[in-house]
Structure 1
Amino acid sequence: MIPRELYMKQIRPFIDQDVIKVLTGVRRSGKSVLLSLIQEELKSRGVSPSQFVRFNFESFSNEKFKTAASLYEELMDRISHTDQRVYFFFDEIQEVKDWEKCINSLRVDCDCDIYITGSNAKLLAGELATYLGGRYVEIRVMPFSFGEYMTAQKQKNSRLSLSESFQNYLVFGGMPFLTNLSGQADSSLQYLKDIYNSILLKDVIQRHNFRNTDQVERIIRYLVSNIGQPFSAASIAKYMKNEGRKISRESILEYLKACEEAFLIEKVPREDLVGKKLLTVNEKYYLTDHGFREALFGSNQRDIGQVLENIVCLELRRRGFEVHVGKAGDREVDFTASRSGRKLYIQVAYLLASPETIEREFAVLESIPDNYPKLVLSMDEIDFSRNGIIHKNIRDFLLEDVI
């Protein structure tokens, strides 16, 4: 198992505390492995594996426990013989009807510590918040960062250079299982297509009972092919109309929201850096894993600028930053990132290949009248830093505090 310290550091303070640990994230991003890593952590603290009770609700063997009542009855029967603290681990808990009632009852009725995973953002909405009254902590789990990808490569004694490893990551993304396929293109793409289709079918279409599946798929594919571009419901409706398909703005917003809840896409709002306010139009969307784009269109290398932008956006969110797209007058800053009073401005480019490109990327940052750090990230090996604006190679940025 790859030691995912980014997440374990967030989880450790809450082990054996009276809060439900909720791991959320896109399917196959490594939530189940994290449950195993937590179990290893507990064993290192002297907890016996006999104190663990684990259910994976994607397994048909647990089909009969997919109601709150049946699950609660089974669990209470299993722990009736022990007076030790019990550690419950529930994978894909959203498959259990009224699961939040069972989880809350366990917390109240027995000496236990509870960990759950789910692949939908609505896991923490409504009923759960009501039942638990704030007694939970959410840890958002994402596919491998480039740093984690390199850790996995080292663990498997990969002979690829740093540059070759980044090339693979750039194309296929960070879904953890892909490290087992050693860069085999056909197998990797098939795996990514299968995950994408599973998310689309189970977490978007079936969960929300969307009837016009072709319409949903077309809108998502349009979005995926244009990651990092400003979007509005009106612009998508116009595109669909040009395709000879009429659709309301309300339906578009409903589809996009469902994809966000399934952690397939990430919405990044726009921020006016002069007026210091959020803008409600022309947000940008990025993929939770850019490998899906390669699986659908095979164009990550061709559209490398968009993909690099996607990678940086997700890396900032992994590091706990709140991310916006900045608007400075009539110019745009790729990302403004805020965390604990700290702020960064970031421009992302493939190569600073001409004086015009250098001027474009640096000038917009130079126009911002504050002293927060400003970065330009690109694939260049030469340092183009100027006027207090730091230029970094994007690989170096992604591996900061990692290796």
Structure 2
Amino acid sequence: MKRLVQRVEYLNFLKRHRDKPIIKVVSGVRRSGKSTLFTLYRHYLEADGVAAENIVNINFEDMQFNELRDANALYAYLITKIQNKEKVYVFLDEIQHVHQFERVVDSLFIKENVDLYITGSNAYYLSGEIATLLSGRYVELQMLPLSFAEFLEWHIQNDPNKQTNNDYFNEYLKSAMPYTLFTDSDQETLEYLNGVYNTVVLNDIVARLNISDVRVLQRLIETLFSTIGGLVTINKLRNTLVSKGAQIANKTVEKYIRGILDSLIMYEAKRFDIHGKELLETQEKYYIVDVGLRRLTLRDHLEDFGHILENIVFLELKRRGYEVYVGKIGTYEVDFVAINSKQELSYYQVALNTTDRNVLERELRPLQSIKDSYPKYLLTLDDFNKEANYDGIKKLGVIDWLLGQHSSLSENMS
């Protein structure tokens, strides 16, 4: 029987904060593995001696808990589960379905015998409402689909026919959603991703924003998917939609983008002035949470593997706990500026192939323009001369880099 991916880094986050007087918040796009993470963690608690009656688990997407979507009903139910017990571990999964859930969370937080864990699939609820009410009382784990290291480890342990890392990487590009490990064909994978995509669009964007013209929203998402890694503006996006026959204003585009980002199906990378060490207000890049969703929605689109690889690197930097920006240095662009919790910077250029000398020089030029002493990396898929050092700029094979030791996950204390 094929086992679940262990998600060790994420499990360690929960273990680190166990029994501490702080709320553990796990956010992430639907089907990224949040519920499975809670299952793995509950198994760990039980193996560590926690009695089953001291673990309360509610998944609000399960119809048996529909009556508990009311804050008062939920609180009354939980009180019966936690009273007269020394320590109770409470798991509230997809809590955004509970009206005024923040009142329940706040009330549970002050109970000394409760260790509280919650998940949600919409950043609007988990960063907006909770951040306001529970400032200083929670840590957030931002969960993403599988890393390539997790994907490869699972396949090595479960695949009877071992392949090369390059072959596995090609499979990884089809989707990093955990469930796709258990699909038997590309068609089945696409059918599953289609269900995820429709659920996110209809439940987490359309329903929340009360959008009537769903097709315009879908066109905007398709436009963003097709331009991953490219600088865009609200006005440019609007003009693209208008050229396709849509009637939409800039404010509506901006509203829809906020809904898309809140659904966690895409992430924004703002521009960062490397010389001035400050954020710029104009132009952003957008990256998709799973490149398989791009393949799903853009069936006839020519693959842009350079930007797909860039997307993979962006997500990996996010997994490793960095704040990630697009760098500007003079007239040059640096693919990524990564800033860790100590406010230390590192710089990344991503390229498919640099065996052509002109391409290599073009990719190195932006990094060479940076005069500070922070680390600089060129990540490529080169088969020849995968690693090199160009006056302090380290060239690395991107697959080897993806399989490297992860840095500690950052903890967003509010």
TMscore range, shorter length? over 0.9
Identity of aligned residues (%): 36
Within the candidate set 387, 394, 398, 1:394 is matched to 398
Structure 1 SS opposite 2:390: coil
Structure 1 SS opposite 2:389: coil
Deviations 1:23-51 (A, max 9, x none): 00000000001111221222233211221
Contact 1:321/1:337 (8 A) holds in 2: yes
Structure 2 SS opposite 1:15: coil
Query: 1:147 & 1:343 partners in 2: Cα distance?
Result: 24
Query: 1:368 & 1:102 partners in 2: Cα distance?
Result: 50
Amino acid of the structure 2 residue aligned with 1:333 = V
Q: Which runs of 5+ in 2 are unaligned?
A: 407-414
Structure 2 SS opposite 1:385: strand
Aligned residue number for residue 383 of structure 2: 381
Mapping 1:353-364, distance limit 5 Å: 353-364=355-366
Structure 2 SS opposite 1:230: coil
Q: Which runs of 5+ in 1 are unaligned?
A: none
Aligned residue number for residue 332 of structure 2: 331
Mapping 1:302-321, distance limit 5 Å: 302-321=303-322
Aligned residues: 399
- 1:389 is displaced (CA, Å) by 1.1
| 1:24 equivalenced with 2:27 (yes/no) | yes
**Which deviates further from its counterpart, 123-132 or 60-69?**
123-132
Mapping 1:214-229, distance limit 5 Å: 214-229=215-230
Mapping 1:341-380, distance limit 5 Å: 341-380=343-382
Amino acid of the structure 2 residue aligned with 1:179 = L
Aligned residue number for residue 6 of structure 2: 3
**TM-score calculated relative to the size of structure 2:** 0.92
Query: 1:157 & 1:218 partners in 2: Cα distance?
Result: 38
Aligned residue number for residue 156 of structure 1: 158
Contact 1:293/1:300 (8 A) holds in 2: no
Aligned residue number for residue 289 of structure 1: 290
Task: Sort the Cα spacing of 1:6 and 1:298 in 2 relative to 1 into closer, same or farther, 3 A.
Answer: farther
Query: 2:119 & 2:278 partners in 1: Cα distance?
Result: 35
Mapping 1:242-281, distance limit 5 Å: 242-281=243-282
- 1:181 is displaced (CA, Å) by 1.7
**TM-score calculated relative to the size of structure 1:** 0.95
Query: 2:36 & 2:300 partners in 1: Cα distance?
Result: 30
Query: 1:129 & 1:327 partners in 2: Cα distance?
Result: 31
| 1:40 equivalenced with 2:22 (yes/no) | no
Task: Sort the Cα spacing of 1:216 and 1:44 in 2 relative to 1 into closer, same or farther, 3 A.
Answer: same
- 1:249 is displaced (CA, Å) by 1.1
Contact 2:91/2:117 (8 A) holds in 1: yes
Task: Sort the Cα spacing of 1:93 and 1:350 in 2 relative to 1 into closer, same or farther, 3 A.
Answer: same
Query: 1:285 & 1:211 partners in 2: Cα distance?
Result: 24
Deviations 1:46-104 (A, max 9, x none): 21122111111101111111101111112222344x42311111110110111111122
Task: Sort the Cα spacing of 1:126 and 1:262 in 2 relative to 1 into closer, same or farther, 3 A.
Answer: closer
Contact 2:355/2:384 (8 A) holds in 1: no
Structure 1 SS opposite 2:66: helix
Structure 1 SS opposite 2:110: helix
Structure 2 SS opposite 1:142: coil
Query: 1:396 & 1:230 partners in 2: Cα distance?
Result: 28
Task: Sort the Cα spacing of 1:54 and 1:398 in 2 relative to 1 into closer, same or farther, 3 A.
Answer: same
Amino acid of the structure 2 residue aligned with 1:223 = L
Aligned residue number for residue 15 of structure 2: 12
Aligned residue number for residue 95 of structure 1: 97
Structure 1 SS opposite 2:172: helix
Structure 2 SS opposite 1:65: helix
Query: 1:52 & 1:269 partners in 2: Cα distance?
Result: 41
Contact 2:27/2:126 (8 A) holds in 1: no
**Which deviates further from its counterpart, 55-64 or 300-309?**
300-309
Mapping 1:174-185, distance limit 5 Å: 174-182=176-184, 184-185=185-186
Contact 1:300/1:307 (8 A) holds in 2: no
